[in-house]
Structure 1
Amino acid sequence: MGARFPFSAVVGHDDLRLALLLNAVHPGIGGVLVRGEKGTAKSTVVRALAALLPELDVVPGCRFACDPAVEIECPDGPHNAGVPERRPARLVELPVGATEDRLIGSLDLERALTEGVRAYQPGLLAAAHRGVLYVDEVNLLHDHLVDLLLDAAAMGRAHVEREGVSVSHAASFLLVGTMNPEEGELRPQLLDRFGLTVSVKAARDVATRTEVIRRRLAYEADPAGFAARWAEQDAELAARIVAARDRLPGVVLPDAELRRIAAVCAAFEVDGMRADLVVARTAVAHAAWRGADEVEEADVEAAVRLALPHRKRRDPFDEPGLEEQQLEDAMKQGAEHAAEPEPEPDPDGPDGGGLPEGADDGLPPESPESPERSTAGQGTGSERTHAPAPSFRTRLLQVPGVGEGAPGKRSRARARTGRVVRSSTVDGSGLHLVGTLGAAAPHQSVRGRSGPGLVLRGTDLRLSVREGKESNLVLFVVDASGSMAARQRMSAVSGAVISLLRDAYQRRDKVGVITFRGGSAETALPPTNSVDAAAARLRQLRTGGRTPLADGLLRARKVLQTERVRDPRRRPLLVLLTDGRATATGTGGDPMRDALRAAGLLAADDVAAVVVDCESGHLRLGLAGRVAEALDAVCLRLEELSADQVAGVVRAARAA
């Protein structure tokens, strides 16, 4: 393996480098989430950090990298005194496709089946102990895996209870996750579990971009030589990390700064107390990093900039970040509280740093309530602007049958995780232990078994068939014609689509948006994992003109055919929002006949669909119902989308 790109040679990204270094000083901060567009050196910086971490003394032969100087419960213990083994801190990477077994470990099946003993095979959490655990594209990782690694990062230990194995081992590591927001967001409650967050962008300054290119080309031409030229600067940073770690326990966090932290967090209206604790830990680490013995206002401000941007995000479609004016006002408010008279010290309160490494507030991640949001059409001339409409909790729309798509929370699917429904000799995920033992047991006498282990044959092996939930491609086809706007229904439709988008965000779906108005249909947003991008496009929705319903359905069919080639395992769900009127003349001269013919083509493609009838008033023509019948789809009235008004699950198409 060639030399890594030196940490000191990275151009710019000051906030990212500071956040990583502070976590290296104080892992109890809780890790770093790095948000940024592709090609911004996120992975390069993270991998370079591992080389700066101090070497470790570990117990020889211990699979959990235990520190010989610290007594701690270990599955490989008790450890005998001996000469410690010295090695570099590890950088462990968690791939997007990792399973729960790979992350937390599992039963050692080879020893269980051949020796008849229960033995634990450590996972990546154990391998990352006292090092760095790096998760690229963390937003694409299954939510339950993110929960597991964040819990371990917060507690400093991993607990495994599965398959007859009960194990607890140390798992203290610097957690770093990177993500491209264009590929989808993390849920707000998962965002909150990361200690710090940093947004990175490519520099727009020509001189800076030139220097980035120059250094990268020099590194690619001679990695070892380039690393050698920056070795001295990296060594200085490594020594500074060690010095800051030694200084950390003695750093004093004055009560005035505690009040400042509490006041700033209150001003930003963050949920729970985790933000206050993370800001305090980060401020202490920042003071230690700059060589001070006491936290000051500058340390708190630096901590706030890194710890609060993602915690002020109240809704899935809010952009993370801090406005300078808001930060300035919050710091002024904090200064007023910091200037209050000192209270009597609490004898049971924290000392100096007061925030032990790895300590957690013990609170579960909170789910921010989604405030009512709205959308309005914009435009000029014949285009209309509509009053905002509130969003709501939608009922569940599902694709029927059992799929095999990406992990999510919408439709039934065969999955690598989830409940075991049966065993199989053909397909499945992981060993079905009971099924394997049951298949082998009757043959032990014939096979001459004499010891505690089983005598196995290949024909005995059974795989676990699991069923979970998948995410889908939800394609919204929205009627934005004049017939919708004339009756002031577009605001209600927009609110409904935003509500459905929020539901898609929570269920980890891929989404796309097609609108039709005037003389044609438009792909407002090609299928993407960025649900907030879809919300932004809908807020700019223009309305007016005739109703080319057939064109909208044909455009949807073309988009779905393309996506079927790109991502064949992800099943689509088409959601058509219309009043059913078709007024734009098609090729056959009859707009409605053309629309029904287009709907029939989608039905022939076996596309699961739901038609949302947006017609209002006492006199209803029922045209949307005719379209739904041609699509072989369920037809719902707009008000029936609300989960609070209508109970149950909608099967989106004919039963498979």
Structure 2
Amino acid sequence: MRHFPFSAVVGADDLGLALTLSAVSPGVGGVLVRGEKGTAKSTMVRALASLLPDVPVVEGCRFSCDPAAPDPTCPDGVHGGGVTGVTRAARLVELPVGATEDRVIGSLHLGRALSDGVTEYDPGLLARAHRGLLYVDEVNLLHDHLVDLLLDAAAMGRSTVERDGVSVSHASRFVLVGTMNPEEGELRPQLLDRFGLSVDIAAPRDPETRVEVVRRRLAYDADPAAMAARYEDDERAVAERILKAQALLPDVLLDDEALLDIARVCAAFEVDGMRADIVTARTASAHAAWCGRTAVTREDVRVAARLAIPHRRRRSPFDEPGLEDRTIEDTLPPDQQEGPDDPEPPEGGPDGPPEGPPEGDAGAEGDAHPGPADAGPAPTSVAEAGEPYRARLLAARGTGTGEAGRRSRARTTSGRTVGATRLPAGPVHLPATLRAAAQHPGRIRPDDLRHALREGRESNLVLLCVDASGSMAAQRRMEQVKAAVLSLLLDAYQRRDKVGLITFRGGQAHLVLPPTGSVDLAARRLASLPAGGRTPLAEGLLEASRTIDRERLKDPRRRALLVVVTDGRATHGPDAVARAGQAADRLAADGVDGVVIDCETGRLRMGLAVRLAERLGTEHVPVGEVSADAITSHIKRKVA
């Protein structure tokens, strides 16, 4: 099947450059493509494979050994002198997000084991991707245990399998390419750093460019062969340029001046570790070869920095990704000034001030600034958030069956195997099946089949219900509360949860942020959260109950974790305390797991948050103990 031509994609110059530089120098480490849906991310990645040079391999070797330097530990045997070499097209191997561990690293060959009684290794996707491209669409949704396998292979250049009576190690060096939509959650930091380059891509805003995109797509859909013929010369030119750049790369000189430029720019942007320097150096050399030069120039370094550094600058999901070209030029000015300096960009970047609602307007998703009718005459204030910290693990009780994540225990189809069962709960557990069949002579019977029980972690809906009333309005207390909530958001990002944010103050509760995978939106809503007015605790709990009910209809398997941040007071409306207790009883009857973060301070405490936690049937945690370090210190004091 023909793919859309690589050279026919419009408005994705940086992505095209990053992909071709990775093809010129696989040591760059691959490409991460971040962007909204419908921006040709997958189209360009799949089209790249047809432009790559053919790969020489040992004939009959399932692990793609190079005839010039075969792997001495290849599972298909030692390839000695006189080995027959053949060429094949470069492979693009796609790793599905829902793939099992067996499919990725390989496993015991079931057919040979059952028919011949022999132990033979059946290679997985990591073996097939050796000396080619490994592509993961929606890489940010990849299960954690698969991320671990990719990290091991990327770091070592080998894949090792020790399971089901199989002990195998084989070479696995590939160019890793991942695409993702940031709205669906961010990438695990360890895997993020393994991508050599990153590109943020968005749909063009220029009407004429958008028209050209549509025109070419319609032409391809109407006649793919004619479209391929139309761009055949362009495709051949790109393929030949990649081949020439690969041949030129060993002759490219990266002198001390260029290395010093690389060190300057990496130090200026305060990236962690040395991988950024190494990747920038390799990318600059690849760019010089791509341009037909044998010496790295300052322009090569600037281009490399723009692609290699942005994703390494982010310390948290609340940081904005990307680099400003002006900032790079300040660090590495051109060798010769070609014109007058550009004017300084306005505050917030080249496109104007930072996005966000005007003061007093929280946007369409909820009014974070209730008017006088809500708050009454009580004054309001907006406190800055304290510095976030590592939060303790808050998890739902029991074992769920939700989407893979990093929070609560769950039965999964692709986690670690923890046992076997006769119930059809998962794939066949081969060792247990063979053990059952060994109890009697003859062939395997249907009642001998055992299925694998697999356990991992699931993601949850973390619904934050934050008290912003007058009793919380003291500046120091609200700073502490915002720091705790920000820390919980950071924890939710790392554990790949969905998050929602409810606030209550004055006379109402507001769903400030409907459940989403983008925690930075919740952080921005939190930053502008005012405090003041009475405490409508019942309204906050009822809004939480309604939100959880709606989410259960959308995704019945995703368990909710309700985090109520309050001092436990209820002062709005008639029978405020009684109504809050009834709302808590409703949540408890629905089986909602959660925790009450107690924000009460001072020597004389009423213990209202403790009673609320008892009515909810949830854990009670003082706000000062949300920090994981605080819990560790408390345990150490107890032991001492």
Do the structures match in fold with TM over 0.5? yes
Moved more, 397-406 or 311-320: 311-320
> 1:551 pairs with 539, 550, 569, which one?
539
Name the % identity: 62
- 1:41 is matched with 40
Pair 1:293–1:421, CA change in 2 (3 A): closer
List aligned pairs for 1:141-220, cutoff 5 A: 141-220=142-221
Pair 1:92–1:609, CA change in 2 (3 A): same
Contact 2:3 2:46 in 1 (8 A): yes
Amino acid across the alignment from 2:612: V
Please list the CA deviations of residues 501-523 of structure 1 after superposition, one character each: whole Å capped at 9, or x if unmatched: 12222222221111112222111
Please list the CA deviations of residues 67-116 of structure 1 after superposition, one character each: whole Å capped at 9, or x if unmatched: 33433332223448576444322221111101221111112122223322
- 2:16 is matched with 17
d(CA) in 2 for partners of 1:519, 1:70:
74
Pair 1:103–1:334, CA change in 2 (3 A): farther
Pair 1:9–1:385, CA change in 2 (3 A): same
Amino acid across the alignment from 2:629: D
Please list the CA deviations of residues 5-63 of structure 1 after superposition, one character each: whole Å capped at 9, or x if unmatched: 10111101111100000001111110000011111111111111111112233333322
- 2:462 is matched with 474
Please list the CA deviations of residues 453-503 of structure 1 after superposition, one character each: whole Å capped at 9, or x if unmatched: xx3222112122132222211111111122211475221111110111122
> 1:594 pairs with 573, 579, 601, which one?
579
d(CA) in 2 for partners of 1:503, 1:334:
45
> 1:615 pairs with 600, 610, 614, which one?
600
Contact 2:316 2:490 in 1 (8 A): no
d(CA) in 1 for partners of 2:454, 2:537:
41
Contact 2:384 2:527 in 1 (8 A): no
* TM superposition shift of 1:638: 1.4
Is the partner of 2:398 in helix, strand or coil? coil
* TM superposition shift of 1:216: 1.1
Contact 2:154 2:194 in 1 (8 A): no
Contact 2:67 2:84 in 1 (8 A): no
d(CA) in 1 for partners of 2:557, 2:115:
37
| In the alignment, structure 1 residue 624 sits paired with structure 2 residue 612 | no
Contact 1:547 1:581 in 2 (8 A): yes
| In the alignment, structure 1 residue 8 sits paired with structure 2 residue 7 | yes
Is the partner of 2:311 in helix, strand or coil? coil
TM-score (norm 2): 0.88
- 2:401 is matched with 404
d(CA) in 2 for partners of 1:428, 1:464:
7
Amino acid across the alignment from 2:432: G
Pair 1:423–1:71, CA change in 2 (3 A): closer
Contact 1:150 1:194 in 2 (8 A): no
Is the partner of 1:5 in helix, strand or coil? coil
- 2:92 is matched with 91
Contact 2:99 2:414 in 1 (8 A): no
* TM superposition shift of 1:333: 12
* TM superposition shift of 1:251: 1.2
| In the alignment, structure 1 residue 107 sits paired with structure 2 residue 92 | no
Pair 1:317–1:144, CA change in 2 (3 A): farther
d(CA) in 2 for partners of 1:142, 1:120:
24
d(CA) in 2 for partners of 1:534, 1:465:
36
d(CA) in 1 for partners of 2:246, 2:494:
39
Contact 1:513 1:524 in 2 (8 A): yes
- 1:294 is matched with 295
d(CA) in 2 for partners of 1:122, 1:197:
30
Is the partner of 2:629 in helix, strand or coil? coil
List aligned pairs for 1:298-317, cutoff 5 A: 298-317=299-318
Number of residue pairs the alignment of both structures matches: 596
Contact 1:30 1:154 in 2 (8 A): no
Unpaired segments of 5 or more residues in structure 1? 336-376, 448-454, 651-656
d(CA) in 1 for partners of 2:626, 2:568:
17
List aligned pairs for 1:27-66, cutoff 5 A: 27-66=26-65
d(CA) in 2 for partners of 1:648, 1:632:
26
Moved more, 71-80 or 160-169: 71-80
| In the alignment, structure 1 residue 77 sits paired with structure 2 residue 62 | no
* TM superposition shift of 1:118: 1.7
Contact 1:264 1:334 in 2 (8 A): no
| In the alignment, structure 1 residue 423 sits paired with structure 2 residue 408 | no
| In the alignment, structure 1 residue 605 sits paired with structure 2 residue 590 | yes
Please list the CA deviations of residues 125-154 of structure 1 after superposition, one character each: whole Å capped at 9, or x if unmatched: 122223221101101102332232244234
- 2:127 is matched with 126
d(CA) in 2 for partners of 1:70, 1:59:
10
Amino acid across the alignment from 1:201: A
| In the alignment, structure 1 residue 26 sits paired with structure 2 residue 25 | yes
- 1:383 is matched with 380
- 1:452 is matched with none
d(CA) in 2 for partners of 1:212, 1:241:
25
Moved more, 311-320 or 495-504: 311-320
- 1:485 is matched with 473
- 2:517 is matched with 529
d(CA) in 2 for partners of 1:145, 1:317:
26
* TM superposition shift of 1:305: 0.7
d(CA) in 2 for partners of 1:118, 1:552:
60
- 2:247 is matched with 246
Is the partner of 1:618 in helix, strand or coil? coil
- 1:578 is matched with 566
Moved more, 391-400 or 176-185: 391-400
Is the partner of 2:131 in helix, strand or coil? coil
List aligned pairs for 1:558-573, cutoff 5 A: 558-573=546-561
* TM superposition shift of 1:576: 0.4
d(CA) in 2 for partners of 1:33, 1:416:
27
- 1:510 is matched with 498
Contact 2:164 2:431 in 1 (8 A): no
Contact 1:261 1:334 in 2 (8 A): no
| In the alignment, structure 1 residue 634 sits paired with structure 2 residue 631 | no
* TM superposition shift of 1:176: 0.6
Moved more, 466-475 or 26-35: 466-475
* TM superposition shift of 1:649: 12
Contact 1:268 1:330 in 2 (8 A): no
Moved more, 297-306 or 82-91: 82-91
- 1:277 is matched with 278
Contact 1:402 1:414 in 2 (8 A): yes
Amino acid across the alignment from 2:191: L
Unpaired segments of 5 or more residues in structure 2? 337-361, 363-367, 373-378, 636-640
Pair 1:82–1:387, CA change in 2 (3 A): closer
Contact 2:252 2:294 in 1 (8 A): yes
- 1:227 is matched with 228
d(CA) in 2 for partners of 1:423, 1:145:
21
d(CA) in 1 for partners of 2:288, 2:446:
61
Contact 2:399 2:411 in 1 (8 A): yes
Amino acid across the alignment from 1:538: L
d(CA) in 2 for partners of 1:110, 1:540:
62
d(CA) in 2 for partners of 1:508, 1:315:
13
